[in-house]
Amino acid sequence: MDQTVKKKDCCSSKEVSGDQYDLIVVGAGSAGFSASITAAEAGKRVALVGHGTIGGTCVNVGCVPSKAMIRAAEAVHGGASAARFPGISPCAHAVDWGGVVKGTADLVEEMRQKKYIDLLPAYENVTYIEEGPARLVEGGVAVGGRVISAPRVLIAAGSRPHIPVIDGIEAVEALDSWGLLTLPDRPESILVLGGGYIGCELAQMASRLGVKVTLVTRSRLLPGAEPEVTEALTEALKAEGITVETGLAYVSVAKAAGGVSLTVERGGKTEDLTAERLVVTTGRIANSENLGLEELGIETDARGSVMVGPDMATTRAGVWAAGDVTDRDQFVYMAAYGAKVAINNALGLEQMRYDNAAMPWVVFTDPQVAGVGLSEVEAKAAGHKVKTSVITLDNVPRAVAARDTRGVIKLVADAKTDRLLGGQIAAPEGSDTIQALAMALIFGMTARALGETIFPYLTTVEGLKLAAQTFDKDVAKLSCCAG
């Protein structure tokens, strides 16, 4: 983005009345708090403008509640799957869906209080303003019938669930992800629309808590993941009794006896899928409307996401943006990181650029799916001559000992330099394993160097060493710890 085309600071008007601040932050979620704390620690006076529940998506309706219920479902599944060990009988845990939901809500309230509300008094130069929706105007931000002014503004308004345009969907009381997580009574069956990370996570969680689940998607599960990883996850979900319907088109939705009916088209033929409730997990969309962006020349993309440069600046001088409202990565840790980048540049503290080259990501299914760096397709598109290594988890001693060999590891490297470019993993401990690969990418390791690194035996992370060795040898022919 050419930042030189900006002409006028949006907040430089001397005629503006109202409170004066060094920085106005619009949005009190992860990005908003990260920005406010960064500025406050630099001695700046900050107006943090919130609207809705303080804390934003992650703590209230996203990461915290979903992962809490996913963990609860894992505990239930642990009893049922214990029979994979010789001499162990399975057990079926009684599930009180309403109790799980209530306990999750209590945890959310506790986390919101501890990590957001209770933090505000610690930063005396941050003023929290919650007087209704905010709108950027010449000279500052209008909120609650007044205009507050500052030379710099950060937009951190977050995102909300995207509801696809399907005939009849508005008439069936479709649930979004938060709607499912707060449903007081367990539904008998659900149709989960969307095979991204949210759909896959919630489909498995609900299934393990006793719901009959059909997961429906236009393409394949996790379309951005490596095909080998997607296949491993699909097989795992099907093995647990989840019906996975892929490669279809959504035609219409209608009320039906006992629930809803989704008409889909596949191979030129239509068919109906039915369940008690419809859960829509087809991505998220930026909360950018009604912020006055167009009037100030702040550009957004086709989905309404605020476009930012590597310094997180928008197309309007004096205005930066971070988090889910932007066209950057929609992960809570990247929202906080992007906000720090923005504020450091906005306040002239330290010149920073948004860098996601070694950004790890995780899907909290079981097996967990995680990745970092370039996929094979992305590496080729970037001009690399690529070599890949793929091993299934039955080659990893940890998985064999745990009697759970569901999963796969794939590494991507430059064929000329041997430098690692990326990798993905599907494994029960995939979320913890991926950080080792992220560090390898940060320090420019080669596949050979990774394969020669000492890893502890009987760990999932040892699979990275074995995958690296697989570039040049058949690890099935190695003894324990050899190589």
Q: Is 79 marked within a binding site?
A: no
Q: Is 27 marked within a binding site?
A: no
Tokens representing 227?
């095909």
Collapsed DSSP state (helix, strand, coil) of residue 221: coil
Q: Is 2 marked within a binding site?
A: no
**Interatomic CA distance for residues 157 and 154, integer angstroms:** 9
Tokens representing 361?
């990501």
Q: Is 67 marked within a binding site?
A: yes
Is the Cβ–Cβ distance between 320 and 152 less than 8 Å?
yes
Q: Is 462 marked within a binding site?
A: no
- What are the start-end ranges of the E strands in 171-298? 189-193, 212-216, 243-245, 249-256, 259-266, 269-275, 277-280, 284-286
Q: Is 197 marked within a binding site?
A: yes
Q: Is 283 marked within a binding site?
A: yes
Q: How many CA atoms lie within 13 A of 301 on its CB side?
A: 13
Q: Is 145 marked within a binding site?
A: no
Q: Is 201 marked within a binding site?
A: yes
**Interatomic CA distance for residues 126 and 47, integer angstroms:** 6
Residues 6+ apart with CB under 8 A from 86: none
**Interatomic CA distance for residues 434 and 425, integer angstroms:** 7
Binding-site annotation, residues: 67, 194-201, 283, 324
Binding-site annotation, residues for FAD: 67, 324
Binding-site annotation, residues for NAD(+): 194-201, 283
